[in-house]
Structure 1
């Protein structure tokens, strides 16, 4: 297993859809919605389908083979 890629945010919490855009996984909210509906995303080991899910520092987001870690600058 590879180490999670840290994605720094200005402050927590951040919505999952915004985090996915910031991490470069999606380009906009519509793409985030489609990704969550079709592919699915894991947050801290559990399936998540809500763009509005609040993420805090230390949360792990799994998208495909990549794991992203929420970090605060």
Structure 2
């Protein structure tokens, strides 16, 4: 799966919502804080983590590439 961003970066919580993997920012906050999200293959618990084109994130087996 891919998401396209208009700006230089997107924050991890926003990216999860954009990809349709969570319903709200609150849901994103909990799954990130619980260590359920990987960024570029490593668990990241920062909701504000900036993702740039080429980065990937994974949640519940779905891998998403930022472009």
TM-score under structure 2 length normalisation: 0.90
Larger radius of gyration: 1
Moved over 2 A (4+): none
**2:4 match: secondary structure:** strand
For residues 13-28 of structure 1, the aligned pairs below 5 Å read 13-28=9-24
Shift of 1:61: 0.3
TM-score under structure 1 length normalisation: 0.83
Aligned with residue 62 of structure 2, among 66, 69, 72: 66
Gaps in structure 1 of 5+ consecutive residues? none
Shift of 1:38: 2.9
Aligned residues: 67
Q: Deviations over 1:6-48 (max 9, x none)?
A: 1111122110001111111112211101111235110011111
Q: Is 1:9 aligned with 2:20?
A: no
Q: Which range moved further: 20-29 or 36-45?
A: 36-45
